[in-house]
Amino acid sequence: MTAPVITLNNGLQMPVVGLGVWKAKDGEEVKTAVKAALAAGYRSIDTAAVYQNESGVGEAIRESGVPREELFITTKVWNSDQGYESTLQAFETSLEKLGLDYVDLYLVHWPVKGKYIDTYRALEKLYADGRVRAIGVSNFHIHHLEDLMAHTSVVPAVNQIELHPRLSQTEIRSFCQQHGIAVEAWSPLMQGGGIFENETLRAIAEKHGKTPAQVVLRWDIQSGIVTIPKSVTPSRIQENLNIFDFELSAEEMAQIDALNENRRVGADPDNFN
């Protein structure tokens, strides 16, 4: 099956589950993963210039035979390319590597101080020119979003942030909700480190005949969050999409919410440039 979609603030529809491809090697590894995902029913792929696998993603898309209009492809401008002109150039490079003539969602990868507003203005230009179907940001705290929205005109469609049961990000989620910005979870499975052994998750998983990974991803969906688990293993890729045949109760949702420790596995956007 394909994943359900949400409607972004400009009317564009985005699948609630996508495949993340960070650390998937360009060439056979990423191609196998993307093809397995598309065959399983995924329609959304999350890559970035810095992942250095846009070429493989593009090849897999073409070889899959899935019509372009069914796909939702996200890529991101890397920090060293930020600034107005250099972002426009970086976009052309990404598009060429992907072998596409537009991307669905183009994101500012991190809020590089002194640059992210000019970078976002370049995204606004690409959006106005019809080169991208939606624009957004990644790793933006509330103060970055406030600053951005005070100086630009297109409200980001998406803020892609680290989010998992140990970092549930409730404040920024409610800010984004108020402003019509969809929240997308990166490292939803904590990069595979440490969450699957959690007893609460294991008990819930057992009750539903699901895996702890599926429970975490289902918690994302029921929280209204877009999620992009990464795997290069076809059976796990399939498993991570197979989350639409069960429902967590309000009590189970609350039990998972209670696992929050405000603990990051990645960098804090305030200390990363």
Does the annotation mark 120 as catalytic? no
Helix axes 212-222, 199-208, angle to 10 degrees: 90
**Nearest residue (CB) to ligand NAD, 82 versus 240:** 240
- Identify the residue among 17, 60, 95, 189 touching ligand NAD (CB under 6 A): 189
What is residue 105's DSSP assignment?
E
* Residue labelled with tokens 């980001």: 156
Nearest to 73 by CA among 54, 51, 89: 54
Q: Is 186 strand, coil or helix?
A: strand
Nearest approach, Cβ of residue 219 and ligand NAD (Å) = 13
Compute the distance between CA of residue 208 and CA of residue 110 in angstroms, rounded to an integer. Answer: 37
**Nearest residue (CB) to ligand NAD, 109 versus 121:** 109
Nearest to 188 by CA among 40, 17, 1, 45: 17
**Nearest residue (CB) to ligand NAD, 77 versus 126:** 77
Nearest approach, Cβ of residue 40 and ligand NAD (Å) = 12
C-alpha to C-alpha distances, 197 to 92, 200, 205, 215, nearest whole angstrom: 43, 9, 11, 12
Residue 23's Cβ-side half-sphere holds a number of Cα atoms within 13 Å equal to 8
Segment 221 to 240, residues that bind ligand NAD, using CB under 6 A? 228-231, 236, 239-240
Contact map string, positions 195 to 214, toward ligand NAD, x by CB under 6 A: ----------------x-x-
Q: How many CB atoms lie within 10 A of CB 98?
A: 22
Contact map string, positions 148 to 167, toward ligand NAD, x by CB under 6 A: ------------x-------
- Identify the residue among 3, 40, 46, 154 touching ligand NAD (CB under 6 A): 46
Segment 47 to 106, residues that bind ligand NAD, using CB under 6 A? none
Catalytic residue among 42, 51, 116, 120: 51
Helix (H) and strand (E) counts in the chain? 10, 10
Segment 96 to 115, residues that bind ligand NAD, using CB under 6 A? 109
- Identify the residue among 192, 202, 244, 255 touching ligand NAD (CB under 6 A): 192
**Nearest residue (CB) to ligand NAD, 41 versus 192:** 192
Residue 98's H or E segment, with its range, is: helix 84-98
Compute the distance between CA of residue 44 and CA of residue 55 in angstroms, rounded to an integer. Answer: 16
* Residues annotated as part of the active site: 51
Q: What is the binding site for ligand NAD (CB under 6 A)? A: 20-22, 46, 109, 138-139, 160, 186-192, 211, 213, 228-231, 236, 239-240, 266
